[in-house]
Amino acid sequence: MKAAQITSYGAADVLRVNEVARPAPGPGEVLVSVEASSVNGHDVIVRAGELKMVSGRRFPIGAGLDFAGVVVETGAEVEGYRAGDRVWGMVHPRKRHVTAGAAEYVVVPAERISLSPAGVSSLDAASLVVTGATALLALRDSVHAVKGERVLVRGAAGGVGTAAVQLAHALGCHVTALARDRHAPVLTGLGADEVLDYGSTTSDAIGPFDVIVDTVGTELNCYRSRLAAGGRMVTVGLSASALAAIAASSVYGSRRVRTFSANPDTAVLRDLADHVTSGALRPVIDSVYSLTDITAAHEAFERGGAVGKHVVAVTA
Nearest in space to 224 (alpha carbons), one of 198, 199, 242, 197: 242
Q: What is the pLDDT of residue 244?
A: 63
Amino acid at 278: S
- Inter-axis angle of helices 129-137 and 159-171, nearest 10: 50
According to DSSP H, which parts of the chain are helical? 41-48, 52-55, 122-126, 129-137, 159-171, 184-190, 220-224, 240-248, 266-278, 294-303
Q: What is the pLDDT of residue 259?
A: 77
Measured CA to CA, the distance from residue 137 to residue 146 in angstroms comes to 13
Q: What is the pLDDT of residue 157?
A: 97
Q: What is the DSSP string of 47-95?
A: HHTTTHHHH-S-S-EE--SEEEEEEEEE-TT--S--TT-EEEEE--TT-
Beta bridge partners of 17: 4
**Is 178 within 8 Å of 201 (Cβ atoms)?**
yes
Q: What is the pLDDT of residue 160?
A: 96
**Burial zone of 226 (CB within 10 Å; 0-12 exposed, 13-18 middle, 19+ buried):** middle
Q: What is the pLDDT of residue 281?
A: 98
Our measurement of the distance from residue 214's CA atom to the centroid of its chain's CA atoms, rounded to an integer in Å, reads 13
Measured CA to CA, the distance from residue 309 to residue 126 in angstroms comes to 9
Nearest in space to 192 (alpha carbons), one of 178, 207, 177, 213: 177
Measured CA to CA, the distance from residue 198 to residue 203 in angstroms comes to 9
Question: For 258-306, how does the pLDDT look when each residue is reduced to its tens digit (9 = 90+)?
Answer: 777 788 999 999 999 999 999 999 999 999 999 999 999 999 999 999 9
Q: What is the pLDDT of residue 260?
A: 75
Q: What is the pLDDT of residue 54?
A: 66
Q: What angle do CA 27, 31, 34 make, to 5 degrees?
A: 160
Question: Strand, coil or helix: what is 286?
Answer: strand
Residues of the chain with pLDDT under 70: 53-56, 96-97, 238-245, 247-248, 251, 316
Measured CA to CA, the distance from residue 311 to residue 288 in angstroms comes to 5
Question: For 191-218, how does the pLDDT look when each residue is reduced to its tens digit (9 = 90+)?
Answer: 999 999 998 998 989 999 999 999 998 8
